[in-house]
Amino acid sequence: MIQNERASRHEHVLDVARQMMTAARTAPKGKGVDVIEIALVAGEDLKRLSEKMIAMVEDHGMKFFLRDADNILEAECVIIIGTREKAQMLNCGYCGFPKCVDRPFGVPCAVNTVDIGIAIGSACATAADFRVDTRVMFSAGNAAQQLGWLPDCRNVFAIPVSASSKNPFFDRKRKEEIVEQ
């Protein structure tokens, strides 16, 4: 049997993405409490995510969302990782308040924020082990959060995943720069 790499690439990237999700799940968590949610976005939902990012630019004016929306369409899939809000009751003050009970609603627990960072790092390290390209995107994570794809999560980040001859997530240009050239 002869199998061309181009014919199997998409399934390979999806398999790597699933391993990335496992790496994020098994990453260390503060106090051993797991508040991480993870999902894989592929197919037509990539287009929905990209369209949401474009629509968001009208609300906040952050033009880099346009560039990132194009990048999403060049990915084979996107991993989204979020954290549910749960104060760890350490009274560490890292959130800016001396005690957890003093922290107003909406101010994230710093331990939850560290947990999502470690999970993202573990997922990206796994991708690097398999030589697929990634980039952590606040923009796409914010759009996924607004779409409600990780219910009850307050901080959501996205990791588009690609395997092509050139990493589409670096040396990027905004849509306006491409049109002007």
Say which residue the tokens 């914010």 belong to: 142
- The pLDDT assigned to 113 comes to 93
- The pLDDT assigned to 174 comes to 60
- The pLDDT assigned to 106 comes to 84
Cα–chain center distance at 180: 30
What pLDDT digit, counting tens, does each position of 140-179 carry?
999 999 999 999 998 999 999 999 988 888 876 665 554 4
- Residue 101, pLDDT > 60, answer yes
CATH number at residue 139: 3.40.109.10
Number of domains in the chain: 1
- Residue 64, pLDDT > 70, answer yes
- For the chain, what percent of residues have pLDDT higher than 70? 94
Highest mean pLDDT (candidates 1-5, 105-109, 130-134, 164-168): 130-134
Which residues have CB under 8 Å from 61's CB, separation 6+? none
Comparing 39-43, 86-90, 116-120, the range with the smallest average pLDDT is 86-90
Distance CA(66)–CA(58), nearest Å, equals 11
Domain, as residue range, for 158: 5-180
Distances from the Cα of 139 to the Cα of 32, 122, 130, 145, angstroms: 29, 20, 25, 10
Which residues have CB under 8 Å from 52's CB, separation 6+? 143, 146, 147
pLDDT confidence of 69, banded at 50, 70, 90?
A: very high
pLDDT confidence of 181, banded at 50, 70, 90?
A: very low
Distance CA(123)–CA(152), nearest Å, equals 21
- The pLDDT assigned to 162 comes to 96
Give the chain's mean pLDDT: 92
- The pLDDT assigned to 119 comes to 98
Answer left, alpha or beta for residue 167, where phi above 0 means left and psi between -120 and 50 means alpha.
Answer: beta
